[in-house]
Amino acid sequence: MRIDLHTHSDASDGTDTPAELVANAVAAGLDVVAITDHDTTAGWDEATAALDRAPAGFRLVRGMEMSCEGRGEDGDPVPVHLLAYLFDPADATFAAERIRQREERIGRLRSMAVKIAADYPIDPDAVLARVGTSAGRPHLAAALVAAGVVDSVGQAFEDLLSRKSKYYVPKLDAPLDDAVAMIAAAGGVSVIAHARARMRGRLLALDHIEELAELGLGGLEIFHPDHNDDDRALLAHLAASLDLIGTGSSDYHGDNKALRLGECSTDPEAFEALAARATGVSVLVAGATRSDGER
Ligand code: AMP
Ligand code: ZN
Ligand code: FE
Ligand code: FE
């Protein structure tokens, strides 16, 4: 069983449509894929419909990656990505928070685009026109590559789009403790994404993870392309000691990132534990009638 529990479509900052994401997951030899766009469930329905063209037994996990703010190792606030799986999309509190976050995202991307457009040949309106549902810096990175300002998305992030750039504009993310509670209240399972990816910036305090375990956190993403062997060992140890589920995933973004679907993956037992814990929506199975597919 090959299981990838963290991927993006063009509902946020990936480049595959949700249907292409499912087709590419099948082609990559995966048995289970989770769609986890940033702060939106907009890709869920199209991904679900694409199961009609997937081999019988292929499974889709409906999820999301939520933008949060935790406590850094130095005690100051730090951005944290929290994966949310199999929650009820109709839960009103959580749905309202997603809308708020997407409004933050679009306002912030517009501000950054306008600042950059003062110095470089990009059109802010054209950048925003390419956003599906959830805007992110990769949309701006793609425009900078297309305009020849930078050679790659990665180079855009190193310089113009980095947190240290004069063009960077922050957005207001959800307090991490609240987010864990919100996901649990919606019947979902929360998993902290790439918690030790220090190339992304400062790290979440390990004792904050311990506190979150008390508040209903479901798991930790252990196997991720941005984690080295030491990071994985530390997180595996932490997950075991706190009785958290340990997952693995590629964080695939289509052409916006140089990595493959299934590059890192989740153990079947961990996946089963995650699915068993959720009460919001079910894992969907290709070839099953919808009521059979629900579990
Ligand atoms: P934002 O959500 O607007 O803050 O932008 C963060 C997104 O950009 C995340 O989804 C990352 O996957 C992506 N990202 C961050 N750094 C890089 C990079 N060096 N290359 C490609 N994508 C990146
Ligand atoms: Zn992303
Ligand atoms: Fe992330
Ligand atoms: Fe991601």
Stretch 33-50: mean pLDDT, rounded? 98
Cα 3–19–259 angle (5° rounding)? 50
Specify if 230 maps to a domain.
yes
Stretch 254-280: mean pLDDT, rounded? 95
Stretch 258-280: mean pLDDT, rounded? 97
Q: How far apart are CA 292 and CA 295, in angstroms?
A: 7
Can you list the alpha helix ranges (DSSP code H) found in 28-152? Answer: 44-50, 92-117, 124-129, 137-146
pLDDT at 62: 98
pLDDT confidence band for 159 (50 / 70 / 90):
very high
pLDDT at 290: 61
Specify if 196 maps to a domain.
yes
Tokens representing 214 are: 């008390």
Q: Evaluate if residue 61 carries a pLDDT over 50.
A: yes
Specify if 267 maps to a domain.
yes
CB neighbours of residue 274 within 10 Å: 26
Q: Evaluate if residue 264 carries a pLDDT over 70.
A: yes
Specify if 35 maps to a domain.
yes
The total number of structural domains that make up the chain: 1
pLDDT at 293: 46
Task: Characterize the bridge pairing of strands 189-192 and 77-85.
Answer: antiparallel
pLDDT confidence band for 291 (50 / 70 / 90):
low
- Please report, for the domain that includes residue 35, its CATH number: 3.20.20.140
Task: Characterize the bridge pairing of strands 189-192 and 219-223.
Answer: parallel
Q: Evaluate if residue 1 carries a pLDDT over 90.
A: yes
Longest Cα–Cα distance of the chain, Å, equals: 56
Q: Count the alpha carbons within 13 Å of 262 in the hemisphere toward its beta carbon.
A: 15
Give me the residue label for tokens 């549902």.
Answer: 133
Phi and psi dihedrals of 275, rounded to 5? -65, -35
Stretch 142-148: mean pLDDT, rounded? 96
CA of 137 relative to ligand 1 center, distance in Å:
6
Specify if 124 maps to a domain.
no
Check: CB of residue 287 under 8 Å from CB of residue 57.
Answer: yes
86-98: pLDDT as tens digits = 999 999 999 999 9
Task: Mention every residue, 6+ apart, whose C-beta is less than 8 A from residue 213.
Answer: 242, 243, 244
Rg of the Cα atoms in the chain: 18
Stretch 159-178: mean pLDDT, rounded? 97
Q: Evaluate if residue 295 carries a pLDDT over 80.
A: no
Q: How far apart are CA 292 and CA 276, in angstroms?
A: 16
191-241: pLDDT as tens digits = 999 999 998 889 999 999 999 999 999 999 999 999 999 999 999 999 999
Q: Please list all protein residues whose beta carbon sits less than 5 angstroms from ligand 4, which is an ion.
A: 65, 251
**Among residues of the chain, what percentage have pLDDT more than 70?**
98
Where in the sequence is the domain holding 47, given as residue range(s)? 3-96+189-285
Tokens representing 148 are: 């020849």
CA of 7 relative to ligand 4 center, distance in Å:
6
Specify if 198 maps to a domain.
yes
Stretch 171-199: mean pLDDT, rounded? 97
Q: Whose CA is nearest to atom 11 of ligand 1?
A: 138
CA of 69 relative to ligand 4 center, distance in Å:
15
Specify if 38 maps to a domain.
yes
Tokens representing 273 are: 């534990």
The helix/strand/coil state of 26 is: helix
Residue to mutate, 80, 137, 221, ligand 1, most ligand atoms under 8 Å from C-beta: 137
Specify if 132 maps to a domain.
no
